[in-house]
Amino acid sequence: MTIAAILLAAGRSARMGTPKPLLVWQGQTLVEYQCQQLKGLPVDQLVVVLGHRADDVRPLVNRIGDFCVINELYDEGRASSVRVGAAAVSEETAIVLVLNVDQPRPVAMMQRLLDEHRKSDTLITVPTHKGERGHPAIFAGSLLPAMRDVREETQGLRDVVTSNERHVLEVEFASSVVLLDLNKPDQYETALKSYPKEVIR
């Protein structure tokens, strides 16, 4: 069962005011942290989608040995990066995990989500905390054609989830980390202090 992970790191980070992939996180950059966590999973292919400040971010990713693709249309929104990432994923892929670089997730949390997806016959698996859906989302490889055709005007991957709502598995987590997004400086500063060091299950 071939597993791919797509890390979206192409955005302009306008609300943060500085490139999110280059933020300091756990003693390294955020993009390095998230690549290392994803590599702790049994993934066969890790695709990192770059765009804004790609020349600054790519050396960090290359140092870890991962595969970068460039989204020249990153200003069009996240959907354009999903299309580029999904296009780079092997056709034989059975499972695709999609995560934004500004959503730091520890490997244990993602591993549990992946295990639950593999045990089920569902098309999509998402984490939840107190009933609220978070990230990352895991998709069956059969949805790759739809992922390669997402559009910003139809809310990107959300449209894929909505279209397959009957086949979505929700996995509840006790930790609110599954909801964490680093969009603004105050959110980043708060997360630096509160991000848990323990294994999250």
**Domain residue spans of the chain:** 3-194
Cis peptide before 21 (omega within 30 of 0): no
Report pLDDT digits (tens) over 73-126.
999 999 999 999 999 999 999 999 999 999 999 999 999 999 999 999 999 999
With residue 128 as reference, give the H or E element that holds it: strand 124-129
pLDDT value for 64: 85
Report pLDDT digits (tens) over 165-193.
999 999 999 999 999 999 999 999 999 98
Task: Kindly tell me the burial class for residue 41, based on how many C-beta atoms sit within 10 Å of its own C-beta (0-12, 13-18, 19 or more).
Answer: middle
- Overall CATH class of domain 3-194: alpha beta
Task: Look over the chain and give the mean of its residue pLDDT values, rounded to a whole number.
Answer: 94
Q: Among the listed ranges 52-61, 64-73, 101-110, which one has the minimum average pLDDT value?
A: 64-73
Question: What's the pLDDT band for 24 if we cut at 50, 70, 90?
Answer: very high
Residue type, 147: M
pLDDT value for 200: 53
Q: 3-state DSSP call for residue 137? A: strand
